[in-house]
Amino acid sequence: MYDKYPKGQNRSRHWKHLKQILQAENYQNYPPDEPNYVNIGSPPSMHPCKRICDITGFEAPYFDPRTNLRYANADVFKLIRSLPNEYVQRYLALRNAAVVLK
């Protein structure tokens, strides 16, 4: 393996992640109408957000303020209130709405 790292490093080098690569590209130096990796990304959606129940997948007009989960009817609500916190966070993480402590 040593011939792969001739400069004396004995562990694999750290490769730049996509975010770092994009930052190093300096796309702002180039004309903005030229397509590059960043400006072909999609914009946020114009349509209203579809609200479905986090647990069953049916349409969910209701929202539980304590756990921040959406639910479809009273039975689901009973279930939500009896879920341990771990499951609540996992359901929220599906929607990218979980609380992340940094």
Partner 1 sequence: MPFITQTQRQSDYNLFPSTTPIVIDNGASYFRIGWAGENDPRLIFRNIVQRPRHKATGETVTIVGDHDPALLKYFDCTRSGPRSAFDSNVVYQFEIMEYILDFGFDRMGADGSQVDHPVLITECVCNPVQSRSKMAELLFETYGVPSVAFGVDAAFSYKYNQQLGVCDKDGLAICPGFSTTHVIPFVDGEPVYQGCCRTSVGGYHVTDYLKQLLSLKYPHHMTRMTWEKVEDLKMEHCYIAPDYASEARLFQKGTKEAEDKTRCWQLPWIPQPVEEPPSEDEIARKAAIKEKQGQRLREMAEAKRSSRINELENELHGLEFLLQQLENVEQNDIPSFLSKTGYVSKQEIESAHVKVTQSLRKAKGEPKAEQVDIEEKMDASTTEKYPLINIPDNMLSPEQLKEKKRQLFLKTTSEGRQRAKQKRFEEELERERQNQQDEEKRLENPELYLEQLRARHRELSEKVEQRKRLKTNGGNTNGNNNFSGGVGRGERLNAAQKERMRLLTTAAFDRGKGEDTFGARDEDWQLYKLMSKDNDDDDEGPDMDEAELARISSRLQDIDPTFVSRPEVGPFQPVVEIPKFRRLTQEDYQVVFGVERFRCPEILFHPNLVGIDQVGLDEMAGVSMKRLPSKGQDVEERLTSSILITGGSSLFPGMSERLEAGIRMIRPCGTPIRVVRASDPVLDAWHGAAAYAAALRFPEQTFSKMDYYEKGEDWLRRYQLRYTL
Q: Give the footprint of partner 1 on this chain (CB under 8 A).
A: 12, 15-18, 21-22, 24-25, 33-37, 40-47, 49-50, 52, 55-59, 66-68, 72, 75-76, 79, 82-83, 85, 87-99, 101
CB atoms within 10 A of CB 73: 13
Tokens of 78: 């009973």
- CB of 82: closest distance to partner 1 in angstroms? 7
Residue closer to partner 1, measured from CB, 62 or 98 = 98
Tokens of 32: 């903005």
What residue has token string 């009817």?
73
